[in-house]
Chains A and B, each alone.
Chain A
């Protein structure tokens, strides 16, 4: 076998692994909705929601409770990532990358600002002020932001075929949540802050992906993502939670009550799914590019519907089946792209 054939074979293996990680991301993201949904009814979060809703209203209660759940989610993600790095023997690399702040870890701390408070909080604001379907549709648009930024910032190539695939997956996702979206928007009680939240989610995750793509040029995805969540934990636990406590919300009393075995168990499973989803997302970027990684990652909408049907028994509507089919078609458009087109991910 000559050098050219060996190079082509290596490239093919790399790309198939890239799609595999993006698909793992979608599966973990989809199944995260199980612990991410049920944790809301457990103590102390149900009581926290009721206590804040009594004085501040449902919208405020949802956001403040979401902040505490997200902060705990970030904490258990960190535990899951320490397990991941331990199994892969990357603690040494973690320390080395952390020390190299200027060339390396600054990108991941920056990514944590856009992915954490901006995207996740924006998603909860959209959920609280408009509805869950709107929040999901808004978030589905993040690959557009990510791929456009990656193209203009560091010249990541996005082929016509990949753009079509990403577009079809987005249309599929919008169709999946379309019924709920129309109901929510036609309720006549939509507030502009909900749209701002949707924009924060799409822009936040898109910008995070593009920044991560830059940081991953010089660091490992496994340790890079761990630093990104270290940054997110600092933002929640050292900045946002104390500020909310100073403002007068009962953050610490409910945070202490969350150390209840069953609640912690559910939070740990949320951490495993969210952490592994994110690390697979980051692993796919250097292999297939930010645009494709985010496009395939968007299949989470489809997987969420499948897991919710299997475990919660919610039977999908016909719009969901049409949207799901579109998602699968979009994925195949991308999977079947000539590997030679992906040999170099950046423009020359």
Chain B
């Protein structure tokens, strides 16, 4: 199944008032950045403790 037009419209409606440009994809970028930082900190933590 693919997303219906109504579902995509509802999804896009969430980001319309965002203060961040391209918010409908930027949230994923932010999560990836945070995840990489957390993994890096976890690696550092394992090597020091």
Contacts and interface: CB of A to CB of B under 8 A. Distances in A.
Given A14-B49, A87-B43, A260-B2, A27 B34 contact: yes
A312 B18 contact: yes
Contact of B7 (A41, A87, A307, A311): A41
A17 interface: yes
Interface residues of B, number: 32
Contacts of A89: 46
B7 A43 contact: yes
B38 A276 contact: yes
A263 B3 contact: yes
Given A311-B23, A312-B17, A269 B31 contact: yes
A238 interface: no
Interface of B is mostly: helix
A305 interface: no
Interface residues of A, number: 39
Interface string A128-159: 00000000000000000000000000000000
Contacts of A313: 15-19
Could you say which of A222, A309, A313 has the most chain B C-beta atoms within 10 Å of its C-beta?
Answer: A313
Interface in A88-104: 88-89
A83 to B, nearest CB: 8
A72 to B, nearest CB: 15
Contacts of B32: 272
Interface in B1-39: 1-4, 6-7, 10-11, 14-20, 23, 26-28, 30-32, 34-35, 38-39
B7 A28 contact: no
A311 B27 contact: yes
Q: Is the interface of A mostly helix, strand, loop or mixed?
A: helix
Given A27-B34, A269-B31, A43 B41 contact: no
Contact of B11 (A17, A42, A276): A42
Contacts of A42: 3, 7, 11
Contacts of A276: 34-35, 38
Contacts, number: 89
Given A280-B38, A311-B15, 19 more contacts: A24-B41, A27-B34, A28-B38, A31-B31, A37-B14, A41-B7, A42-B7, A46-B10, A87-B39, A260-B1, A265-B28, A272-B31, A276-B35, A310-B23, A311-B14, A311-B18, A312-B14, A312-B15, A313-B16
Interface string A1-44: 00000000000001001001000100110010011011001111
Contacts of B43: 87-88
18 contacts: A17-B49, A20-B41, A28-B34, A31-B34, A37-B14, A41-B10, A41-B11, A41-B14, A42-B11, A46-B10, A87-B39, A88-B42, A262-B3, A272-B35, A276-B34, A276-B35, A311-B27, A312-B15
A317 to B, nearest CB: 16
A183 interface: no
A222 B31 CA distance: 20
Interface in A241-257: 257
Considering the complex of A and B, which 8 residue pairs feature the smallest CB-CB distances, nearest first?
Answer: A313-B17, A41-B10, A313-B18, A257-B1, A34-B27, A43-B7, A311-B23, A311-B18
B3 A260 contact: yes
Nearest to B40: A87
Nearest to A257: B1
Contacts of B30: 31
Nearest to B4: A43
